[in-house]
Amino acid sequence: MQAKDLEWGWSDSPILLPLAYQQREWNAAFIAMHIAEYSGSQLIVYHVSLATESASVEFREEVRSLAEKLKVKISFVEEETEDGSFDNISRMIITQAIKQNAQAIIMPAHKEGFFKELVGRVSDRVAQRNPTKTVLVETPDPKMKITSSPRKIAVLVKPGTEPKDAFIVAAALTSLATAPDAELLAAQAILLPQTVPMDAMEYSNEIRLMERRFAETISSVIKNLGRMFSPRILASRQLGKDIADFVIKEKVDILILTGHRRNLISGLFGTDTKDIVGNAPCVSLIVFS
């Protein structure tokens, strides 16, 4: 990541939040609302109505109540369809985002059964096809609810990723309306070959150089976002397991990482990202720039 290439904010263009009005979607609503508050954007809640599904009126009112509390301008758009296929719903969401000139789509991504994940969830299809930014909010347990004031948020920088929007999202979640005193971590993951002893990294010149470069990058992030990030180097042989251990040890409330758009046949997530999200005991945000 080159610090000079970073953009230090989102515009005030609208943000689209697709919801089925189910309680397990609260974390996505929470994230979208606070990013909208941070960027001064209108939040457009979009609901695809299916005859086979029931939506919670109470949940919709909870979303409206949070918008009033944060003073976020919110509007509700609903469309009906008889085609409940993942492909059709994902296309409707993207079409609506383009129609609303939305700068980003923020939506829940649920753990589903084997078949649904095999063919690609609605959220996966949206992230793959959306021409603008997408943030998927993954929750390990549908009953897990983000605390109203997260205490620790970690941005994970994986090899070969460009995490500029991940840092911006972290800054948005520590605005005055959310958690101004939250601790921010920036962890750079380094995947070590099986032949390299873990204790050897302390004496490796290459590792020390990476630490120095990462610290310089984080200094630039701190300067431009006005948020203090504590840099960490996380050496690993199994990213999913080791990052889960890191999250538990550090008591991280929200983990933010960058995703790559891949084709749906091979799966939206690469092996590393899938392992990280599958093992993380906290809410994870996957940001597609």
Asked whether residue 218 carries a pLDDT value surpassing 90, the answer given is yes
Mean pLDDT of the chain: 85
Please name which of 5, 38, 14, 33 lies closest in space to residue 227, comparing C-alpha atoms: 38
| Structural domain contains residue 144 | no
Q: What is the pLDDT of residue 51?
A: 72
> What integer pLDDT is reported at residue 176 of this predicted model?
64
Angle between helices 57-70 and 26-39 (to 10 degrees): 30
Q: Select from 98, 114, 138 the last residue of a domain.
A: 138
Number of domains observed in the structure of the chain:
2
pLDDT at 84 over 60: yes
Q: Which residue has the higher pLDDT, 193 or 252?
A: 252
- Asked whether residue 111 is assigned to any structural domain, the reply reads yes
Q: Which pLDDT score is estimated for 132?
A: 94
pLDDT level of residue 93 (50, 70, 90 thresholds): very high
Check pLDDT > 70 for residue 32.
yes
Q: Pick from 135, 109, 141: which is nearest to 32 by CA?
A: 135
Give me the residues paired with residue 192 across strands.
none
pLDDT at 267 over 90: no
126 and 171 in a single domain? The answer is: no
CA distances from 15 to 67, 98, 134, 244, 245 (A): 13, 11, 10, 30, 33
Question: Which pLDDT value is given to residue 263?
Answer: 52
pLDDT tens for each residue of 170-188: 999 987 655 667 899 999 9
Cα 33 to chain centroid, rounded: 13
**What is the rounded average pLDDT of the residues 198-226?**
79
128 within 8 A of 263, measured Cβ to Cβ: yes
pLDDT confidence band for 260 (50 / 70 / 90): confident
Task: Answer positive or negative: Cα dihedral of 271, 272, 273, 277.
Answer: positive
Of the three residues 87, 110, 138, the one that is the final residue of a domain is 138
Please give the pLDDT value at position 198: 59
Residues of the domain holding 216: 152-288
Are 190 and 77 in the same domain?
no
- Is the distance from CB of 81 to CB of 89 less than 8 angstroms? yes
Establish if 146 belongs to a structural domain. no
